[in-house]
Structure 1
Amino acid sequence: MRNWISPSLLVITFILSALGHYAGWDPTLQFILSAIAVIFVAGFLGKATENVAHYAGQRLGGFLNATFGNAAELIIAIFLVREGLYDMVKASLTGSIIGNLLLVLGLSLFAGGLKFKVQNFNVTLAGLNGSLMIVAVIALFIPAVFLNTHSITASETTTLSLVVAGILIFSYIAWLLFSMITHKKYLSDVADASQGELPHGHETHWSKRKSIVFLILATVMVAFVSEWMVGTLDTITARFGLSEIFVGAFLVAIIGNAAEHSAAILLAMKNKIGASVEIAVGSSLQIALFVAPVLVFVSYFTGNTMDIVFTTIELVAIGVSVFIAKSIIQDGSTNWYEGLLLLVVYIILGVSFYLV
């Protein structure tokens, strides 16, 4: 699935990004080099995770895939939190959610639909994922509504954010328990029925020790290139007159998700649309239920808690994305036109964010 990752290009892009950072090259060039490097190392991290998951067994392997699935976005966001760029953090979270639901899913349905007239997948799994996304939207809407309609102190806002973040993490852990333990066989059976094979069935090419070493190495590389890229964002936003919300929601989100984008699209073109939907929707769920709450707690331990209150345009974007994505996948059947509709909504949101 990630055979496009060339080891030589991975090393070259990482070295060039390092040279640009430490030699003090032009910030725009640094951003471009680090962005390209992030794409390659994120893909490398994904491949390493898949190989480790193969040796870990289904349960632990599923947990590893879930945990490291959005590792690049999480690490980038942690560096943004450290820099105090909370608006950009929340924008990048918004961008990851709508990017997966509209761009990744849209491109997957469109590419798969051009090759296959109609593609089918399991309705039950899609319904469960859709319901979880609605819960996530509700959890993000409530703090914003209360903050805008009631007089809440900074301390109360922090408490509300931490409580909501804790509840979301609990919901995510419960989902892992449901999907990988209590109903693992049921969900595996429905995946087999719709796809002919398990969505996470990948070939392994590395030994167990090599896979673990590469997983550690990939995580470290992601951390370095993420820090280098984040260091250029202030200059990029000022030089090109871009808002933090646009940079976070579109540039940072697309870069961090690039490796996963390719995986979903390639699977759709192999008529494994169920796996593509699982990647796109599952990734959005992980961002909303796990990554965002974790960042709230990370900021809390740094001494300046990031609230979980999103702006109106961010909430509207997330709500619209969940609504149309759930509407399209709820019947378990897709075609290229439905993919095009998702892409149209993504473009509309992109223009709106750019003009904010």
Structure 2
Amino acid sequence: MSLLLEEIRHNRVLWLLVFIPAVFAVKGIEPEAHTLLFVLALLAIVPLATLLSHATESVASKTGDTVGGLLNATLGNLTELIIALTALRAGQYTLVKASVAGAIVTNTLFLLGASFLLGGLRYHIQDYNRTNARFQTSLLFLATVALLIPSAVAAPDFVEGATFMHQLSVGLSVLLIVAYGLGLVSSLKTHRELFGSTEELVSDDAPWPMGLALSTLAGVTVLVALVSEVFVESVQQAAVAFGMTPAFVGFIVVALVGGAAEMASAFSGARKNRLDLSVGIALGSAAQIALFVAPMLVLVSYVLGPTPMDLQFWPGAVIMVLISTMTVLTVTSSGHSTWFVGVLLVMVYLIFAMTLYLLPPRIQ
């Protein structure tokens, strides 16, 4: 605990932790102050993401970057899952689907691209495990196919169209979860030698003891989830005040805030020339959302949702996910990265963001 207090004392970013009780205080006193709650939630997530980054790096230093990336992606995606479950219980399926698709695009383009850019500004050329990157993007492509099929076969003149779509979505969800589980067996057990880091580099910062790191991971993840719930409740009303469209909020803002913890770890890893950790977080998180989180939400909707949710996303979201997947498949073929590769990925992401901000697609 003394190490944690020492870290808070010397890291000015962690002084923003005071905004965590402020969020809950304002929530209790003035629950309708949506714009203020929105800003406070954003400020509260920043130090939590920093703590999560340090704790994850401490675990990764003992488990390796492959497991460390998987751990960070899992804990980071827990926030997205809780956000989605909150919207699911309220029957806000448009927000659920937009946040899921947005999280996939944000991780593959912005998170990975910014990691390449930040690392490339410090190192001339960075290497990473090409096998792991191609493996994760292959899983992501499989999920993209599963998202594309429901939209491709949907037609209003189908007899029992709704029943067919729900049955297809459940079947696809089961297949995706099985594929994700088998992928974990392959990367962590049967062929784990193929997915190690390209080189072993020691971090400048002394890692925390495993007990402190794991307890910090658990506690911070819970706090991120709680603050994110306040964020979700206030974001729609705050968006109006800031002139943001609903599509932009679900696809961009919610995805960026939900992935704040992963971004902190990925960016830190890239700046320390641990690009395997950054790639593992970015692509592993995207694959996990597409192959596990989204299918699980479909299955859970039969229990928590007012009506079952399907995998039929609006065409604009499917196209953006497909383009993101194909872009990453292209740029990760060499196993090398420079800062300009990161610029290309971020530019594609900014094209999507600008389009959604100015002309949001119609969501069915």
Q: Bin the TM-score by the shorter chain.
A: 0.7 to 0.9
Judged with a 3 Å threshold, the aligned counterparts in structure 2 of structure 1 residues 294 and 117 are, in CA distance, closer, same or farther, namely same
> Residues 241-256 of structure 1: matches in 2 within 5 Å?
241-256=243-258
What does residue 331 of structure 1 align with? Answer: 334
Equivalents in 2 of 1:70, 1:203: separation in Å?
26
Tell me whether 1:34 sits opposite 2:41 in the alignment: yes
What does residue 21 of structure 2 align with? Answer: 15
Tell me whether 1:258 sits opposite 2:265 in the alignment: no
Q: Any conservation in 2 of the 1:133–1:322 contact (CA below 8 Å)?
A: yes
- Determine which of 64, 72, 78 is the counterpart of 2:79: 72
Q: Any conservation in 2 of the 1:42–1:256 contact (CA below 8 Å)?
A: no
Out of 54-63 and 123-132, give the one that drifted further.
54-63
Equivalents in 2 of 1:57, 1:123: separation in Å?
16
Question: Which one-letter code corresponds to 1:346 in the other structure?
Answer: Y
Q: Any conservation in 1 of the 2:113–2:343 contact (CA below 8 Å)?
A: yes
Equivalents in 2 of 1:52, 1:335: separation in Å?
27
Question: Which one-letter code corresponds to 1:143 in the other structure?
Answer: P
Local SS of the residue matching 2:164 = helix
Judged with a 3 Å threshold, the aligned counterparts in structure 2 of structure 1 residues 263 and 61 are, in CA distance, closer, same or farther, namely closer
In the superposition, the TM-score normalised over structure 1's length comes to 0.87
> Among the aligned pairs, what percent are the same residue?
35
Tell me whether 1:314 sits opposite 2:322 in the alignment: no
Local SS of the residue matching 1:232 = helix
Tell me whether 1:161 sits opposite 2:169 in the alignment: yes
Q: Any conservation in 2 of the 1:20–1:33 contact (CA below 8 Å)?
A: no
Equivalents in 2 of 1:60, 1:131: separation in Å?
19
What per-residue deviation string (whole Å, max 9, x for no partner) do you get for residues 53-111 of structure 1? Answer: 88899999787555324111111111121222211111111111111111111111112
Question: Which one-letter code corresponds to 1:175 in the other structure?
Answer: G
Question: Which one-letter code corresponds to 2:310 in the other structure?
Answer: D
Equivalents in 2 of 1:55, 1:332: separation in Å?
24
Equivalenced residues, count:
349
What does residue 271 of structure 1 align with? Answer: 273
Tell me whether 1:172 sits opposite 2:180 in the alignment: yes
Equivalents in 2 of 1:41, 1:265: separation in Å?
15
Q: Any conservation in 2 of the 1:42–1:72 contact (CA below 8 Å)?
A: no
1:349 Cα deviation (Å)? 0.4
Judged with a 3 Å threshold, the aligned counterparts in structure 2 of structure 1 residues 207 and 133 are, in CA distance, closer, same or farther, namely closer
1:244 Cα deviation (Å)? 2.3
Equivalents in 1 of 2:273, 2:55: separation in Å?
25
What per-residue deviation string (whole Å, max 9, x for no partner) do you get for residues 152-192 of structure 1? Answer: 5222222211211111111111111111111123323xx2x
Unaligned segments of structure 2, at least 5 residues: none
What does residue 111 of structure 1 align with? Answer: 118
Question: Which one-letter code corresponds to 1:16 in the other structure?
Answer: A
Tell me whether 1:344 sits opposite 2:341 in the alignment: no
1:342 Cα deviation (Å)? 0.9
- Determine which of 232, 235, 245 is the counterpart of 2:234: 232
What does residue 199 of structure 2 align with? Answer: 195
Tell me whether 1:88 sits opposite 2:90 in the alignment: no
Out of 80-89 and 133-142, give the one that drifted further.
80-89
In the superposition, the TM-score normalised over structure 2's length comes to 0.85
Judged with a 3 Å threshold, the aligned counterparts in structure 2 of structure 1 residues 50 and 83 are, in CA distance, closer, same or farther, namely farther
Unaligned segments of structure 1, at least 5 residues: none
RMSD value, Cα: 3.0
1:36 Cα deviation (Å)? 2.4
Question: Which one-letter code corresponds to 2:195 in the other structure?
Answer: L
Local SS of the residue matching 1:15 = helix
Equivalents in 2 of 1:65, 1:275: separation in Å?
9
1:198 Cα deviation (Å)? 9.7
Question: Which one-letter code corresponds to 2:161 in the other structure?
Answer: T
Equivalents in 1 of 2:249, 2:209: separation in Å?
37
1:274 Cα deviation (Å)? 2.6
Q: Any conservation in 1 of the 2:69–2:280 contact (CA below 8 Å)?
A: no
> Residues 188-227 of structure 1: matches in 2 within 5 Å?
188=196, 191=197, 194-197=198-201, 204-206=207-209, 208=211, 210-211=212-213, 213-227=215-229
Equivalents in 2 of 1:54, 1:276: separation in Å?
14
Judged with a 3 Å threshold, the aligned counterparts in structure 2 of structure 1 residues 50 and 294 are, in CA distance, closer, same or farther, namely farther
What per-residue deviation string (whole Å, max 9, x for no partner) do you get for residues 283-313 of structure 1? Answer: 1111111111121122221142221111111
Question: Which one-letter code corresponds to 1:112 in the other structure?
Answer: G
1:211 Cα deviation (Å)? 4.9
1:40 Cα deviation (Å)? 3.2
Equivalents in 1 of 2:25, 2:42: separation in Å?
14
